[in-house]
Amino acid sequence: MSTALERVMDAIDIETYLVCRDANEGRMLALKLGQELNLGDVDIMFEEFDGYGIRLRLRKYVHKPGSRYEWLNLSSNKNYQQGE
């Protein structure tokens, strides 16, 4: 069965703004957000605390180079063709 995650070519980036007291809390919340979204451990690519909250760019790799890419089977697997 094809999932949307399997179709992610490489990575999911999340850009958001979390209201927080300081940068440390912001970072902690960023990592918690990854868990709450069922993405597991996410990497904080960029962070910028401005006093009110933290501006974030988070990344989760779904397919890293050298791994097996499910999307590569898009055309050779019937289930994928049907988008199931």
Partner 1 sequence: MPKKILCVPLDPVHDVGIKLIKSALDKRGHQTELLSPDLTMEAIVKKAAAGNYDFILVSRTLGYGVAELLARFNDLLDAAGIREKTKIVIGGKPVTPELAAELGFDKGFGANSSTEEVIAYIEEREINDSSSSVQKIKKNLAEPYSYKFFHSEIESLLNSIADKFIDWGKNKTSPGIERVRLREEILHAGDKNIQQALIKKYNDLSDAEIAQGNVKKIYPKGVREVTAEELDSLESFLRSQKSAGQLKIQHSDKHPLIFKFLGSGCPLMDIAHGKVCERWGIDGFLIINPSWEARYEGLLFGNLTHENDGTITSLENIRLIRRSLDPSTLLTVRAHRGLNTPETVLLAGKAGADLTKINLVYGSLGAGTDPIRLGVDGLEAIRLTATYGIPFDIPGNDELSGVPAWKTLAGLLINVMVGVKLNAKPILKPLFCYGPHIVLNSFMEKNFIDYNAAKILALREIVDCPIWPGEPIAFMTQSEERVQSANATSYHASLAASLGVDAITIASTDEAYSRGPIAITSRIDSIRAVTDAFRFVGDAGFKLTPEAEKYKNDLIQKIIEVLRAVDEKDNLPEAIYSGLLGDQNDGAYPGKFGAGTVSNKVR
Q: Does 17 bind partner 1 (CB under 8 A)?
A: no
Q: Does 46 bind partner 1 (CB under 8 A)?
A: yes
* Cα distance from N-terminal residue to C-terminal residue, the chain: 6
Number of H helices, E strands in the chain: 2, 3
Q: Does 84 bind partner 1 (CB under 8 A)?
A: no
- In the complex with partner 1, which residue's Cβ is closer, 48 or 84? 48
Strands (E), the chain: 11-19, 43-49, 53-61
Q: Does 59 bind partner 1 (CB under 8 A)?
A: yes
- Which one among 48, 50, 52, 84 touches partner 1, defined by CB under 8 A? 48
DSSP H or E stretch at residue 34? helix 23-36
Q: Does 50 bind partner 1 (CB under 8 A)?
A: no
